Amino acid sequence: MVISLGSIVYTKLKTGNARMPGMIMIAISAVVLTTIFAAPLLSVGSGWQLGENELTIKAMPVTDTIAFSQMKIMLTDPKGPWKPVLRTNGYGTPGLSTGWFKLANGKKAVVFYHTGASKVLIVSAQERYYLIAHPGVERLYNNLIRKGVEKNVL
């Protein structure tokens, strides 16, 4: 859509058939409105999925699948040293933040953070940290423990 609008504006300007300020305002408005209405679609499918032997984490723009044998986990308070303090790449809406974050303890992590979570699951794997905060995270933690994932070692 942006490319189409750009080519129309370019053609009109090149042939001299356009009222420049009006065309530019229409093009800018179209781009802004498209971005506003399309942005929430980017977070569709975010979260986690528990497989038979792995956990898939989708925190736009990151999607990683981690084998249970490669991960270590810890359940902690969302206001402690593992709290996200700065998003360096990702997406946020009221109530949900995803992507790469710098944490209060100085570490970097892939984060799926839903406000209202009473606990945070920290996953360490493949030289990365993952933080999942969601109202159902305690159930996920218990399921991972049942599947044999090593706990409380971070």
What is the reported pLDDT for 43? 45
Residue keyed to tokens 């009473």: 118
Tens of pLDDT, residue by residue over 25-77, are: 677 776 666 655 555 544 445 677 888 899 998 888 889 999 999 999 999 99
**What rounded mean pLDDT belongs to the chain?**
81
User: Which pair of structure tokens corresponds to residue 41?
Assistant: 């679609």
Residue 12: pLDDT over 80: no
Which position has the higher pLDDT, 94 or 24? 94
Compute the average pLDDT of residues 14-22. Answer: 62
Strand arrangement, sheet containing 62-67: 47-50, 54-59, 62-67
Q: Which of 3-7, 9-13, 114-118 has the highest mean pLDDT?
A: 114-118
